[in-house]
Amino acid sequence: MSSREPLYEGKAKIIFKGPEDGTLFQYFKDDATAFNAQKKAVLEGKGVLNNRISEFVMENLGRMGIPTHFIKRLNMREQLLREVEIIPLEVVVRNVAAGSIAKRFGLTEGDPLPRSIVEFYYKNDALEDPMVAEEHITAFNWATTQDMDEMIAMALRVNDYLSGMFMAVGIRLIDFKLEFGRVYDQNDMPRVILADEISPDSCRLWDAHTNEKLDKDRFRRDLGNVTEAYAEVARRLGIMKENGSVTEEGSPE
Ligand code: UDP
């Protein structure tokens, strides 16, 4: 790993200062945590897979006109990013009942929701990321009403795109989490763009035929074969060679 001074070390990634002002390096670790970091493990190769899967998803979203912080992948574990002012919210989109919504409302896991539901959580480990309403978000100045409208609109576009992309390779997108950041354009006007990562760490992905879990729930629920499941997602998306390895070189310029 690089000897550079980290700006921020999270549970699964490290952020370093980038080569130019307004850029960052994002390094994907093999560390896995769940239940607010009470459960921890090192899953060899997870970081490499998430780097590649997130690159693939962010590039495709960029092509669809969704602005993201992703600039390019540099190597097996690192990406070059545009620096953003992170909005301290986790935006969760759900299509099918699972995880906390199933528990909160007594729903059966796997039951389709009447429509896609967007939820907001306040990013704060000490408080265990509490769910929040627009009232809290605007009152505490985490985001404006306009930021929220933009995040909801982008989250639903991401959901439509990803649902189709995964369904085409036999995977059902159950739910996922997004993070957004603010950037300032030449005229100093703030704009919200997609940030962080999109990978099996941040999505629930079930095989469309067998309902086998191909995501971080394999770790949370001790189902085993976690990295194998992530590799299966990469393989189906066509970003992993049939021999099981991911390509070594950086993404083309
Ligand atoms: N999620 C995430 N980070 C978090 C919390 C949730 O990436 O800190 C993702 C999770 O992987 C799932 C979705 O957001 O795809 C909804 O998670 P949920 O609220 O059901 O919580 P969980 O059951 O994961 O605790």
What does the alpha-carbon distance between residue 4 and residue 135 come to, in Å, rounded to a whole number? 40
Is the beta carbon of 177 within 6 A of some atom in ligand 1?
yes
Distance (Å, whole) CA 32 – CA 43: 7
Q: Establish whether residue 232 lines the binding site of ligand 1, counting it when its CB lies within 6 angstroms of any ligand atom.
A: no
Q: Give residue 25 CA to ligand 1 midpoint distance, Å.
A: 24
pLDDT of residue 150: 97
Interval 133-137 mean pLDDT = 98
Pocket test for ligand 1, best of 100, 113, 199 (most atoms within 8 A of CB): 100
Say yes or no: CB of residue 197 within 6 Å of ligand 1: no
What angle separates helix 145-167 from helix 46-63, to the nearest 10 degrees? 110
What does the pLDDT look like over 54-98, one tens digit per residue? 999 999 999 999 999 999 999 999 999 999 999 999 999 999 999
Task: Specify the ligand 1 atom closest to the Cα of 35.
Answer: 25
Tokens representing 74 are 């540099």
**Ligand 1, residues 116, 175, 219: which to mutate, most atoms within 8 A of Cβ?**
175
The ligand 1 atom at the shortest distance from the C-alpha of residue 177 is: 14
Q: How many CB atoms lie within 10 A of CB 134?
A: 12
Ligand 1, atom 10: nearest CA belongs to which residue? 202
Q: Quick one: what percent of the chain has pLDDT higher than 70?
A: 94
pLDDT at 253: 37
92 or 5: which leads in pLDDT:
92
pTM, entire model = 0.95
On the question of pLDDT at 210 being above 50, the answer is yes
**Ligand 1 center from residue 242 Cα (angstroms):** 30
Is 86 in contact with 197 (CB distance < 8 Å)? no
Q: What DSSP character marks residue 161?
A: H
Place of tokens 């699964």: 12
Phi, psi of 57 (to 5 degrees): -70, -45
Confidence of residue 5 (pLDDT cuts 50, 70, 90): confident
